[in-house]
Amino acid sequence: MRIGVIGTGTIGSLLTTGFAANPAHAVFVYNRTPAKAQALATGRPNVRVSRDARTLAGECECLFLCTKAADAKQVLAELAPVLTPAHVLLTTASALSLSYLEDVVPSKWVKVIPSLTQSVHSGVILVSYGRRCLSSDRLWIEELLRDLAQPFTVSEEQIRVASDLTSCGPAFLAFLVQQWAAAAARTGQLSDHEAETLLVQMLVGLAALLQNGHSLQDIVQRVAVPGGVTEAGLVSIGPAASELFDQLHQATQLYAQGSSIVAHLSG
């Protein structure tokens, strides 16, 4: 398939390298800084650099728009004269509504939310379809996305909380593990490095259990023997964990709505 990618930042690069791993695809890329697009194409014979966004739209009918929301509006203004109902545009800009995008150009629209896990061809990529997409479109789009990860269809209203779990989730869990390792080190029994090493290997094993069919609840029940130390630990973190994740979803929702109250991480 001929796939176009506009914007070769973190997400655009992730999608480009993922699709380029399949030699059946020809991936056309465009970045307003040509050197960035050329660097991505170097060493990948099925990745080609387009001289501008309009040329790319003429070369592909499947386009991934991987720019920031503000930049996407400018790109669409440039593309509008050449986009047709045959084009399928997949945007990674969650801030732009599908209804707005469909009002701007006559093409079919899909919202996709990737994750860092796609860099290792794993995890979930969220998909939300615009009203112009037919059942036949959904079939080939999901088949295409399986080159990267497991596609999971959500409504546009579900994207914020779902992307907390899939796209933001790796960072949230990695941060929690770092904090856990630091707490273990504060007991004086392990170094921070030793604690983090043990936790990482535990997570690898946990992932293997899940891949082998164990559910989260099954794992909890099998490890937490009634009256044992694991149960005591679970009881201690239960209320705090509920409050923590309630606050997390509230914070991301506020930020998505334009709030500036979210502080930056230090260090």
φ and ψ at residue 92, rounded to 5 degrees: -100, 5
Residues 6+ apart with CB under 8 A from 143: none
Name the residue with tokens 């398939």.
Answer: 1
For 169-256, give the CATH class: mainly alpha
Q: Which fold has domain 2-155?
A: Rossmann fold (3.40.50)
- Between CA 145 and CA 135 the distance in angstroms is 15
Would you state the pLDDT for residue 95? Answer: 86
Would you state the pLDDT for residue 70? Answer: 85
Q: What is the DSSP string of 4-42?
A: EEE--SHHHHHHHHHHHTSTT-EEEEE-SSHHHHHHHHT
Instruction: Provide the whole-model pTM.
Output: 0.91
Give the pair of three-digit tokens for residue 142: 């999901």
How do the domains of the chain map onto residue ranges? 2-155, 169-256
Q: Specify the 3-state DSSP secondary structure of 259.
A: coil
Give the pair of three-digit tokens for residue 156: 């546009």
> Which residues of the chain are under the pLDDT cut of 50?
none
**Among the listed residues 73, 86, 82, the one whose alpha carbon sits nearest the alpha carbon of residue 133:** 86
Q: Are 120 and 96 in contact (CB under 8 A)?
A: no
Give the angle 262-266-267 at the CA atoms, nearest 5°.
Answer: 150
Instruction: Give me the helices (H) in the chain, please.
Output: 10-20, 34-41, 53-59, 69-79, 98-104, 135-145, 159-166, 169-186, 192-211, 216-223, 229-256
Q: What is the DSSP string of 61-91?
A: SEEEE-S-HHHHHHHHHHHTTT--TT-EEEE
- Between CA 145 and CA 123 the distance in angstroms is 12
Q: Are 160 and 256 in contact (CB under 8 A)?
A: yes
Would you state the pLDDT for residue 63? Answer: 97
Question: In whole angstroms, what separates CA 125 from the centre of its chain?
Answer: 6
Summarised one tens digit per residue, pLDDT across range 130-141 is 999 999 999 999
* Bridge partners for 64 per DSSP: 5, 90
Give the type of residue at 100: Y
Give the pair of three-digit tokens for residue 172: 């949230």
